A and B are shown apart, each in its own frame.
Chain A
Amino acid sequence: MSVAVQSWSPSWPPAIPKPGALPGFGITFGFTLTYLSLIVLIPLAVLVWRASGLGLDGIWRVATTPRVLAALETSFVISAAAALVNALFGMIVAWVLTRYSFPGRQPIDAAVDLPFALPTAVAGIALAALYAPNGWIGALFEPWGIKIAFTPLGIFIALVFIGLPFVVRTVQPVLQDLDREIEEASATLGATRRQTFFRVVLPALLPALLTGIALAFARAVGEYGSVIFIAGNMPFKSEIAPLLIVARLEEYDYAGASAIATVMLVISFAALLAINLLQAVSRRRMGDA
């Protein structure tokens, strides 16, 4: 599942834009609506319609069974944690790639995109092999009694892996365009480097960072391929919601599958909407809106 993230205009009522240098608001807006309907809204509507065979209380009954609740919690909590970790480390990677020039910068920059390009199942198999108790990295943790593969920790690692490029690629261009003079101004005014970062640089990066977090989170919630190989898929422990949906489909329980999917849809939409609103607020504070 991939989710389009757009920024929400805080102004209300929305004004119909005046003709600009390029005409065609009517045509492009019409196209956008039709396209979004065909590609996004109609499939989602069918999903809801499928689930609605159960009725609202039917959906509720499916969604509140302990196993489904556990899977939803696993999916959303671990996705959120992975997105936050990616926010921190993605920003550090973006920082290093834009602020310093060093031999091998180009290949490293290109490597950031690999999680995009790799089939997720390949990533899952590779990660599972690495983090299994007898794998290279898993073996290091085994003596401490820490199991990574086939536990929620493994899911977390897979989700961090696939989410990294989103934060790096959204923060990088903003960081590149960031005026170095505002950092110098901050220093001449007596700020320490720490203060300069937290009071001047981070607020400027915040809208882009939130976009990156939203994308990484959305991707993580929908991720299936890489997770099932490393998760172990034990109900109540390391079973993600998408896996449960596939399981229901294999039992020909289409309504049940749709019900779980609908619940995921609602939660995802609410989370992304919340992030978008946060973003609108931080943009407005930047004076861009």
Chain B
Amino acid sequence: MLGPSGSGKTTLLRLVAGLETPTSGRILFGGEDATHRPVRERRVGFVFQHYALFKHLSVAENIAYGLRVRPRATRPPDKEIRRRVAKLLELVQLSGLGRRAPAQLSGGQRQRVALARALAVEPRVLLLDEPFGALDAQVRRDLRRWLRELHDRTGHTTLFVTHDQEEALELADRVAILNKGRIEQIGTPDDVLDRPATAFVAGFVGEAVRLPVELAPHALRIGGQAIALDHGLPSGAAALFVRPTDLTLAEPFGDNRLTATVVSVRRRGPARRIELAIADRLPTVEIELAIGRTVHQGQAVHLRLLTPRLFAS
């Protein structure tokens, strides 16, 4: 579940867990109505952004907690609990740290303990609320890959909440894009990136810039410039969403060129980012440029629009 802050991702996750009560609607677990089930009977594995480990218990006892609080009839014997804790510690690659206190672990290690604790109760669904939100970039990347592998191995149905697109698109089989408490689109990462269902999705995913444009039959007008385009939309005002890969520098001759001025040139990763102004009143757009080519600030350039992402407004 991906969306900007305040879009309701966490609330939705907490509704699924039973930590919040819905005012309307139902929550189904594999076809079974769980709307009125108390949290502890839902068997969900919840992982919080700030770990929420029990500070007074050792790492091993944190993991064992869900088994120890079971009623006597279903509680595994002590030896079995210890065996399962050891197995989970191994699964989250923390073997040998079972006797440490949570305060003695790094952030990434703590979050893995929290995950092991959630897995210990054999949850029907794993709910992760921005689990890597409090960690630094390098640890995030490592944990993300590790979590994907773990998921493939254990096969738990997992709901993952994040505001980080890269994380969502890399981890998820299906992405739900949320905005203002509503789901805008559910689809594969390819769906939401290449076939956005709404203007919001088009603007939110993939660093897009929204440009106001005017549509005429077979033509698109943008900031005083016009290009021919078969857009198939009714004439009138519309929004064009431009990602850094949607525009490319072009030779000045030929049809359907836009002209723009270079505002700034910055190095970003293996390429350069060029910030361009198509017209004075419009937001600037960015494109990627290979290192071999050079442009200068203030230079006029010609652009070709590769992928028009248009939504009537």
Contact = CB atoms under 8 A, between A and B. Distances in A.
Interface in B120-167: 120-121
A190 to B, nearest CB: 5
B129 to A, nearest CB: 9
B78 to A, nearest CB: 16
Contact of A189 (B66, B102, B104): B66
Interface residues of A, number: 22
Contacts of B183: none
A185 B40 CA distance: 10
B50 interface: yes
A186 interface: yes
A187 B40 contact: yes
Q: Which size bracket describes the interface of B in this complex?
A: 20 to 34
Contact of A181 (B40, B50, B102): B50
B299 to A, nearest CB: 51
B39 A187 contact: yes
B227 to A, nearest CB: 53
Interface stretch (B41-49, B269-277, B288-296): B41-49
Nearest to B49: A181
Given A189-B121, A287-B103, A184 B52 contact: yes
A190 B121 contact: yes
B101 A188 contact: no
B37 to A, nearest CB: 12
A190 B19 contact: no
A146 interface: no
Contacts of A184: 19, 39, 46, 48, 52
A190 B52 contact: no
Contacts of B306: none
Interface of A: 179, 181-182, 184-192, 195, 199-200, 203-204, 282, 285-288
Interface of B: 17-19, 39-46, 48, 50, 52-56, 65-66, 69-70, 101-104, 114, 117-118, 120-121
